[in-house]
Structure 1
Amino acid sequence: MDIPVKASLSISFSNQREADEKLSAINELNLEKIPDGVALLAEPLTEKIDIASFLDFENISYLSCSGDNADDGSVLDFDWVLDLRRQCILHDIPFYFTSTGANFRMRGRDYHIGEKFRESQAAKADVHYFPVSRAFNPPVFQTTVAPTSSVIHDTDTKINEAPSSKNTNTSCVQESLNFEDSNPTDENFESEHTIPVVTSEAENISIPGINYEIEIDPEDRYIDELFNRISHSKFRSSFHLREQERSYCLSHSEETIKQHAMDFVSKKLAPAEPENDGKQTPMKGHPVFIAQHATACCCRGCLHKWHHVPEHRPLTESEQQYIVKILLSWIRNDMRNSSTEDS
């Protein structure tokens, strides 16, 4: 899969013991020697691990995790993946689930995943996380391409439930692995511990099977994807500007409405513990209020659920700008659609 983040050093681990041992020296790293940051690779992940105490290191580029590709390898439990994702969200660190591995467990059921389906099934989980705080400052992407595997895929490979499972899998993989309800340079340094690193001739990490030759994911695409997700919510998609709000937009400049949005966001959403959180946004009276409900920017709980912005901490300036841009984009779209319907 594609990982849109650059790194100079990688630290890999599979279990809690390895994570504790290898990450214990992370704060001793010389930041000048790892200008593009550190990639944390939980690959293959063989048990639930807690690395929250290490994630305060300011130069972590991202964390990725995957299962064991050996046919008789360890089972990857999806709950472990979601727990690592939760830790990354709380620390504003990009998270990527790259492969299920050969043996995958979800909701207590075990599956054997054919090699050609492992990345696609991980992608279907849709649990990648890219912090809003970085959306306005996209990373510089690597252009080196990792070496391709020489393994020949068996075109007849199928995804079957592991024999050890107590349940019988009779449905196709798309139905049985239903993730819809789940959302939810080589630089040497001296320390007491030796941390293995992945190196490449381009002085950037190169993870086998991951292509770094990808596009920058700009903020506009980020917002488009959000609107697409929200369109599937019956509640969110039910909001539209009424005559009163449309008239307000026509009689006021966009700059005025933008200033109102900035004020509402800074006063009602930005504090770590907003007053009356969950009920601070009226359902009518201003186009920005309607846009907030339509885009799930109405309270910190909705921001956390839909935008992955952690609760109980102040919003950053970039996050506030991001929210305002979403609100104005939605208002423009709704005004445009209303005009089309009227004509």
Structure 2
Amino acid sequence: MLIYPSKKGYYHSFPTFVEDNRHLYIYFREGISQNNCVHGFDGKILRVKVSVSDLLAFPDCLADRGNSKIVFDGENEMDAIVSKLDNNLFSLCTRIWIPNQKNDCYVSFSETPEFYERQPVIVDGIDISAFYGKAFKSKYGYIFPAYGVIKKDGLQRPLIFVTDTQKWELLSYLPTKLNGNRLNESSVVSFNNRWFIFMREDEPPFGIWMSESDDLLNWSNPVKLFSKAHTPVAYVFKSRLVLFFRYLYAKNVSAIGFIYPLEKDFSIHIVEIYKGNPYDGGYCDLGEVNENLFVSFYLGNEFANPTVEMRLVETKASFGK
């Protein structure tokens, strides 16, 4: 189903969503296409709000059935990661990026998935590159996965921050430069009383790595699951852990793919294939609607004017068959 259509000269990307009061709030970025700038420039953060009944009944353009608006319009907005932290508490992670000039990360908090203000996130001794992956509540506070550089060692790595919505601290971090390769984007989930983090290898041959923890503080040595993939996002649905990612399917062909990473001899399932630049698609988000699992993503085309899409992955009855 189409959330937002392709528009000539525009670049739509990075969709995430939450449900609240029988409505979906879908956040994503709209940029101006530029040949020399991946994802375009002059980015804005948009929100489409649509009822759950329309989502299930009408597979056409959801933006036409709901209402959309610009949420933030800085110099060049990049990210729009919306999360439900608790009953009546939501967050939105955003970022303003100007090449070689600025890379400022922000978080908004609200009792509903509507956001009007935001606060910069600054942690002494750390350069935060970006937030990535869903935020969630833990016994320590609210957890926000990210990646960035601990200044004392100068290496980019996955970072896990904790906050009470006012004060921010680094809770833990992961190794990097494993076998010479840098890890960054990460997704954290709880499954069977353990924590799992899935991380992107950001240099060729690319791939997804995994680490485990009992407490979010101490992590096992990361292991590589498979190659040729970016942008991991994990979710637990009906007692199975599923992992979505951008799959570098073949030369000039990429895909939205998923696996069940904890199951023996897992295989890669394909949701959608697209041609052209691999960075013109992917970046999934997952959530349950009416006990069904949905995935959102952006999907490239030969004109580099991506659409924002959503798919029903599995129903409660069919999941895992």
Instruction: Look at both structures and tell me which one has the larger radius of gyration over its CA atoms.
Output: 1
TM-score, length of structure 1 as denominator length = 0.21
Q: Which has the higher contact order (CA 8 A, sep 6+)?
A: 1
Question: In proportion to residue count, which structure has more helix?
Answer: 1
